[in-house]
Structure 1
Amino acid sequence: MTESMVISVMKDAISTALTLSAPILITGILVGLFVSILQATTQIQEQTLTFVPKLIAVAVVGLITAPWMIHVMNGFTRRIFDMIANLIQ
């Protein structure tokens, strides 16, 4: 296994991880920002208020994007297995 192959695998792994985590992270950030703005305008300073909306939004986005995430992870796994098969030959 050459150095360029290792770099290629690591680059693919990092980009796949970022792609998979982006929808959930962006949702959490946007919901947190919205709740923070709502708290600032209404002057409600309850710290636990942000957790429930974030949890619900992240769960919904996770359920909606689960088939796509499985497809992306399946493609990455197939690429890795194909690379391993080519190394053995």
Structure 2
Amino acid sequence: MFWTIVGWIVLGLVAGFIARAVVPGKDDIGILRTIVLGVVGSVVGGFLFGLFTAGLRGFHPAGFIGSIIGAIIVLVIYNKVTGRKTRR
């Protein structure tokens, strides 16, 4: 159980950092929000993967690539909702 939680944190951190690097502009959301971004992105990626492959299977984490894609989607939505990174 402990290593599962540590794995989620590490995966969330890596996926969140990669998503922040891919989405243009500066993000000043901090390390904790980056981890949450990656973990939520993993669940979103798993949900989308389930929709496109075997139908709706519920919420569960995706693999590494799916986590990054999900984190990018979550970061873009977060930026739109909070008004961050608006282009002039």
| TM-score normalised according to structure 2 size | 0.31
